[in-house]
């Protein structure tokens, strides 16, 4: 089915980066989980690395606009996100897969993705075709009419990815999408990421360094709510001489974290 | 013309798409296949015998041709009005109402009816369940979508009222609790729950208001057995004011409905 292209889609881009944050602060409970984060992300696949509790999930939620920043400035697709923003407009161009996503077990994969497409306010006539396309894209075409509760963990993740990309988002936020995928599915997922990342700003959080090296054009390393490092995966490997780990990238990861913590400790 | 048939090996290499077959051999084979039915049959067997062969390819092609995907079932269309997780709460509420009516019928002269005491707070549990992080597994997914917010919440609240109100009305006719007495208080509690819920979370708001109602009205009435002043016609303006205040607070807090509670 050929999709009609509307005027909004061919309008020139009027912003430099899909996601840009300036001294962003986000609170979870009493803790400032994101604490003065500067960020500028354009098209491509950006890998978000960091230890558990580094603020990755909180940052993802803030970028998905479900958590309101406590301070700083956040711009998505050239729109400032504050109390006056028309969230509906911005959210139509965002795809989001939370770390723990729930679903209605009696829904089939197709019903689940169709329901999400409706929540994303897609035009009703585009929904069946778009749903079929994304279900094929994540490799669930043969299970499309099976109930969600019959799927394995890896298949559920893929259904989650399908709902995230069903609206052809400009910003795609995936929180720990490779959890539960077996090695073969992980390879397919990386190929999908590279494919989507050609014309979309994709931010993937993970704690697996090898995912980032294999699929990402850009690495972000966060710790204690702050950016430690941003650069190409090969730059991460440059740091590998000092740290501990099984691969150059893992050594670079641990070396950068240690250096940041030493600096933070020294400043205190 | 003495027919010399293709060898099995040649056929199989042809089916495999072996690039090392000489062009003239391929040409000769194809010319032969056009005229020899026996060899065509054998090549058909060879093609079907291949794993992931023509059948799988054909199935894929058919999938593309049948561009009309399977029609959606009613399940997700119903979810546009209420998530499936709401159903058990509505069933529970209706069951409680039936029990209250049964008690009132059995008690006969007991006044005021249990149903009337319950009526204002009956929608609370379902309203809280309709938009709550703990009870809707898809809450975070839903909250991040454009449609999240006041509209979706009101849709779900409307479903709750559409189920509860008719049961209350019929039950009220049986038990002697006229809608005149409970309708406005019921709406006031619903609006207040939504308004307080946008500040403290719906579950907490529903629980708090339910407890206040139980302590202030239900418990004393069960002892005194007199019609509480809250149901007198003189109280109606107060309830109506509560509806207005609740709706006003909800409108000003509508942005909070599109977010996760910040305390988690």
Mutation site for A-interface testing, chosen from B144, B150, B201, B263 by largest number of A Cβ within 10 Å: B144
Kindly tell me if the per-residue pLDDT of B70 is higher than 70: no
Per run of 10 residues, the mean pLDDT along chain A (length 268 residues) is 68 82 88 88 92 89 91 90 85 93 89 93 90 91 91 89 94 90 86 89 88 87 89 82 78 86 71
- Cβ–Cβ gap A102/B260 under 8 Å: no
Q: What's the pLDDT at B110?
A: 63
Please state, in angstroms and as integers, the Cα–Cα distance from residue A184 to each residue in A164, A189, A190, A246, B257, following that order: 21, 9, 10, 21, 40
Return the percentage of chain B with pLDDT > 90, whole number: 33
Question: Does any CB of chain B come closer than 8 Å to the CB of residue A254?
Answer: no
Question: Which of B70, B75, B147 lies closest to A119 in CB terms?
Answer: B147
Question: Which of A100, A110, A121 lies closest to B146 in CB terms?
Answer: A121
- Cβ–Cβ gap A104/B258 under 8 Å: no
d(CA A73, CA A82): 8
Alpha carbon of A245: minimum distance to chain B alpha carbons (Å): 33
Other Cβ atoms closer than 10 A to A98: 24
Kindly tell me if the per-residue pLDDT of B42 is higher than 60: yes
Report the complex ipTM. 0.85
Minimal CA–CA distance to B84: which of B122, B135, B144, B134?
B135
**Which CATH number is A17-93+174-268 given?**
3.40.50.300
> Which segments of chain A belong to CATH 3.40.50.300?
17-93+174-268
**A261: Cβ contacts below 8 Å, ≥ 6 apart:** A223
Question: Does any CB of chain B come closer than 8 Å to the CB of residue A32?
Answer: no
Kindly tell me if the per-residue pLDDT of B144 is higher than 50: yes
In terms of pLDDT, which residue wins out, B43 or B133? B43
Q: Which two tokens stand for residue A225?
A: 């709510």
Minimal CA–CA distance to B193: which of B93, B124, B116, B90?
B124
Q: Binning pLDDT at 50, 70 and 90, where does residue B264 land?
A: very low
- Cβ–Cβ gap B70/A110 under 8 Å: yes
Kindly tell me if the per-residue pLDDT of B34 is higher than 80: yes
Q: Which two tokens stand for residue B54?
A: 């023509």
Mutation site for A-interface testing, chosen from B87, B138, B139 by largest number of A Cβ within 10 Å: B138
Residues of A in contact with B133 (CB under 8 A): none
d(CA A259, CA A239): 11
**B9: Cβ contacts below 8 Å, ≥ 6 apart:** none
Q: What's the pLDDT at B245?
A: 96
pLDDT tens-digit readout, B74-121: 677 788 888 888 999 999 999 999 999 998 888 876 678 888 999 999
Q: What's the pLDDT at A1?
A: 52
Nearest CA in chain B to A27: B262
Residues of A in contact with B146 (CB under 8 A): 87-89, 91-92, 119-121
d(CA A78, CA A64): 15
Q: What's the pLDDT at B72?
A: 58
User: Is A77 buried (19+), middle (13-18) or exposed (0-12) by CB count in 10 A?
Assistant: buried
- Cβ–Cβ gap B147/A145 under 8 Å: no
Least confident range from A222-236, B39-53, B177-191: namely B39-53
Question: Does any CB of chain B come closer than 8 Å to the CB of residue A124?
Answer: no
In A159-245, which ranges are E strands? 171-175, 201-205, 218-223, 226-231
Q: What's the pLDDT at B262?
A: 57
**B168: Cβ contacts below 8 Å, ≥ 6 apart:** B97, B115, B119, B122, B179, B182, B186
Residues of A in contact with B258 (CB under 8 A): 65-66, 87
- Cβ–Cβ gap B72/A103 under 8 Å: no
Q: Give the residue carrying structure tokens 């006969």.
A: B108
- Cβ–Cβ gap B262/A115 under 8 Å: no
Alpha carbon of A21: minimum distance to chain B alpha carbons (Å): 19
Q: Which two tokens stand for residue B5?
A: 């048939």
Minimal CA–CA distance to B102: which of B115, B111, B91, B89?
B115
Q: What's the pLDDT at B3?
A: 61
Cα dihedral A248→A205→A191→A125 (10° resolution): -170
Q: Is the CB of residue B160 less than 8 Å from the CB of residue B168?
A: no
pLDDT tens-digit readout, A124-175: 888 988 999 999 999 898 999 999 999 988 889 999 999 999 999 999 999 9
pLDDT tens-digit readout, B209-232: 999 999 999 999 888 888 888 888
Q: What's the pLDDT at B106?
A: 86
Alpha carbon of B68: minimum distance to chain A alpha carbons (Å): 7
Minimal CA–CA distance to B183: which of B107, B94, B243?
B243
Q: What's the pLDDT at A64?
A: 93
Mutation site for A-interface testing, chosen from B67, B82, B145, B156 by largest number of A Cβ within 10 Å: B145
Alpha carbon of B16: minimum distance to chain A alpha carbons (Å): 26
Alpha carbon of A230: minimum distance to chain B alpha carbons (Å): 27
Q: Binning pLDDT at 50, 70 and 90, where does residue B1 land?
A: very low
Alpha carbon of B72: minimum distance to chain A alpha carbons (Å): 7
For chain B, the structural domain boundaries read 8-65, 75-258
């Amino acid at each position: 089915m050929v999709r009609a292209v509307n005027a909004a889609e061919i309008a020139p881009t009027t912003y430099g980066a899909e996601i840009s944050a300036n001294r962003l602060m986000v609170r979870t409970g009493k803790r400032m989980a994101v604490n003065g984060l500067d960020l500028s992300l354009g098209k491509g696949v950006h890998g978000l690395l960091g230890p558990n509790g580094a603020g990755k999930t909180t940052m993802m939620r803030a970028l998905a606009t479900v958590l309101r920043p406590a301070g700083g400035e956040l711009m998505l697709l050239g729109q400032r996100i504050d109390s006056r923003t028309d969230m509906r407009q911005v959210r139509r161009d965002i795809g989001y897969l939370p770390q723990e996503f729930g679903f209605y077990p009696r829904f089939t994969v197709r019903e689940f993705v169709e329901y999400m497409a409706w929540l994303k306010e897609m035009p009703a006539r585009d929904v069946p075709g778009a749903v079929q396309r994304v279900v094929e894209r994540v490799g669930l075409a043969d299970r499309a009419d099976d109930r969600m509760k019959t799927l394995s963990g890896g298949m559920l993740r893929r259904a989650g990815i399908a709902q995230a990309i069903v609206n052809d988002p400009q910003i795609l936020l995936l929180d720990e999408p490779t959890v539960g995928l077996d090695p073969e599915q992980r390879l397919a997922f990386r190929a999908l990421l590279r494919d989507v990342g050609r014309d979309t700003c994709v931010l993937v959080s993970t704690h697996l360094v090898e995912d980032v090296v294999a699929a990402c054009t850009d690495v972000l390393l966060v710790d204690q709510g702050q950016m430690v490092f941003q650069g190409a995966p090969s730059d991460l490997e440059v740091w590998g001489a000092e740290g501990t780990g099984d691969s150059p990238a893992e050594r670079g990861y641990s070396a950068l974290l240690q250096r940041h913590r030493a600096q933070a400790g020294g400043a205190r | 013309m003495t027919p010399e048939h293709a060898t099995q090996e040649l056929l199989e290499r042809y089916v495999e798409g072996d690039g090392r077959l000489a062009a003239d051999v391929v040409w000769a084979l194809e010319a032969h296949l056009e005229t020899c039915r026996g060899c065509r049959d054998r090549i058909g067997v060879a093609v079907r015998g291949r794993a992931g062969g023509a059948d799988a390819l054909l199935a894929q092609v058919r999938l593309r041709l049948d561009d009309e995907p399977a029609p959606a079932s009613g399940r997700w269309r119903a979810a546009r009005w209420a998530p499936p997780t709401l159903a058990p709460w509505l069933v529970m509420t209706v069951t409680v109402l039936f029990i209250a009516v049964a008690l009132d019928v059995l008690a006969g002269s007991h006044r005021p009816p249990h149903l009337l005491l319950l009526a204002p707070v009956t929608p609370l549990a379902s309203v809280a369940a309709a938009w709550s992080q703990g009870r809707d597994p898809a809450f975070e997914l839903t909250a991040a979508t454009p449609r999240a917010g006041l509209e979706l919440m009101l849709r779900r609240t409307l479903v709750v009222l559409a189920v509860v109100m008719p049961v209350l009305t019929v039950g009220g006719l049986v038990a002697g609790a006229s809608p005149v007495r409970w309708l406005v208080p019921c709406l006031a509690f619903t609006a207040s729950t939504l308004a307080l819920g946008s500040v403290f979370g719906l579950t907490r708001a529903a629980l708090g208001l339910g407890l206040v109602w139980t302590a202030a009205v239900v418990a004393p009435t069960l002892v005194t057995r007199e019609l509480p002043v809250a149901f007198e016609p003189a109280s109606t303006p107060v309830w109506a004011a509560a509806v207005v205040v609740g709706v006003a607070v909800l409108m000003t807090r509508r942005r909070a409905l599109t977010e996760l509670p910040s305390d988690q």
